[in-house]
């Protein structure tokens, strides 16, 4: 989306709540707004809330569109809620279970959150791979081993591609064991991706599962709502290790000039856009 690569067929599906404008540009887009509730039902005033809303210093939303941030969760960490919701869906789609060996390729914020959730399942061994060695500390803070792309583990039970690249998917296929599951967690955008299926893909009877946060996985959809999933995410935010995933803070006025460079900076992770001193 940052590069304007939203296919025409996806412009409606890719809309976020409270979006203004149309893809590719100009568009007001975002889904990770955290702030203090100033007006509304008496029980909510003064509390810190999270909403799927574009970046801005103040917003008016329906009361039922706000999720209260638990008292022990810092507002800056609560900005990870939308990405953590995506990560939870990816873990569900992976089918990972006790004692599995799991490879996550791509140590961006989503990949790191996936690794953190997996590391909390008893006995699961998580390896997080990335070409940027500066991501090692963050991977280890999430409870995962770190690997460079040329030294991936083999015969894993689950391989998850969170790189946004077809090269990452090829790595997942190469690392997957017999009848293993591969989760394609990336959004690739407009264009053509090439995937190597001529090697051991068929002989190993591998499965590729797409994951997209817009829908609850079928095995849970009869019981889970989006509201229940987000409430679960709010509880999962009660984890101090997640603070390592915010690497920069940028005032809103400086964001247009600074964001392009920060997105390419080694070790960069979550970039928190801040407002005035009275905001969250």
Segment among 18-27, 104-113, 223-232, 235-244 with least mean pLDDT: 18-27
Q: What is the mean pLDDT of residues 8-23?
A: 79
For each of the domains in the chain, give its residue range(s) and CATH number, in order of start: 8-81+229-274 (no CATH), 83-215 (3.40.50.720)
pLDDT value at residue 189: 73
Which is it for the CA torsion 38, 41, 47, 50, positive or negative? negative
Q: Which residue has the higher pLDDT, 238 or 7?
A: 238
Residue 126 has pLDDT above 60, yes or no: yes
Residue 273: which region, alpha, beta or left (left: phi > 0; alpha: psi -120 to 50)? Answer: beta
Mean pLDDT, the chain, integer: 92
What's the rounded Cα separation, in Å, for the pair 115 and 130? 13
Structure tokens at 14: 């890719």
- Per the model's pLDDT, the better-predicted residue between 15 and 229 turns out to be 229
- The pLDDT value recorded for residue 50 is 97
Q: Is the pLDDT of residue 192 over 80?
A: no
What span, in angstroms and rounded, lies between the C-alpha atoms of 43 and 171?
Answer: 50
Q: What is the pLDDT of residue 277?
A: 53
DSSP string, 43-91: TTTT-EEEES--S-S-----GGGEEEPPTTS-HHHHTTHHHHHHHHHHH
Predicted pLDDT of residue 280: 40
pLDDT above 60 (res 183): yes
CA distance 213 to 62: 22
- Kindly tell me the sign of the dihedral angle through the C-alpha atoms of 55, 57, 61, 67: positive
pLDDT in tens, 48-72: 999 999 988 899 999 999 999 999 9
For residue 3, what pLDDT band results from cuts at 50, 70 and 90?
low
Predicted pLDDT of residue 93: 97
pTM above 0.75, yes or no: yes
Rounded CA-CA distance 217/234 in Å is 19
Return the pLDDT at 27. 84
Cα separation of 89 and 172, whole Å? Answer: 18
Checking if the pLDDT of 5 tops 90, the result is: no
Q: Where are the alpha helices (DSSP H) in the chain?
A: 75-78, 81-94, 109-119, 136-141, 166-175, 218-221, 226-236, 255-262
């Amino acid at each position: 989306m940052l590069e304007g690569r939203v296919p025409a067929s996806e412009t409606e599906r890719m809309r976020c709540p409270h979006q203004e404008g149309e893809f590719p540009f100009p568009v007001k887009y975002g889904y990770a707004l955290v702030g203090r509730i100033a007006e509304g039902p008496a029980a909510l005033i003064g509390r810190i809330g999270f909403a799927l809303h574009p970046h801005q210093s103040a917003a008016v939303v329906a009361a039922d569109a706000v999720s209260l941030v638990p008292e022990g969760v810092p507002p800056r960490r609560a900005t990870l809620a939308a990405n953590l919701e995506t990560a939870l869906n990816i873990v569900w789609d992976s089918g990972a279970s006790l004692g599995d060996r799991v490879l996550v390729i791509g140590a961006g914020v989503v990949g790191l959150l996936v690794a953190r959730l997996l590391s909390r399942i008893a006995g699961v061994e998580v390896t997080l791979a990335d070409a940027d060695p500066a991501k090692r500390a963050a991977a280890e803070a999430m409870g995962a081993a770190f690997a460079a792309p040329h030294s991936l583990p083999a015969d894993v039970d689950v391989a998850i591609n969170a790189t946004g690249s077809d090269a990452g998917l090829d790595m997942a296929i190469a690392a997957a064991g017999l009848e293993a599951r591969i989760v394609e967690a990336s959004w690739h955008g407009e264009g053509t991706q090439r995937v190597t299926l001529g090697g051991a893909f068929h002989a190993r009877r591998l499965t590729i599962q797409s994951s997209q946060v817009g829908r609850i996985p079928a095995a849970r959809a009869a019981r889970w709502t989006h509201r229940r999933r987000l409430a679960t995410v709010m509880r999962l935010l009660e984890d101090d290790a997640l603070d390592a995933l915010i690497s920069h803070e940028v005032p809103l006025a400086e964001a247009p000039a600074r964001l392009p460079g920060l997105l390419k900076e080694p070790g960069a992770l979550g970039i928190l856009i801040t407002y005035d001193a009275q905001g969250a």
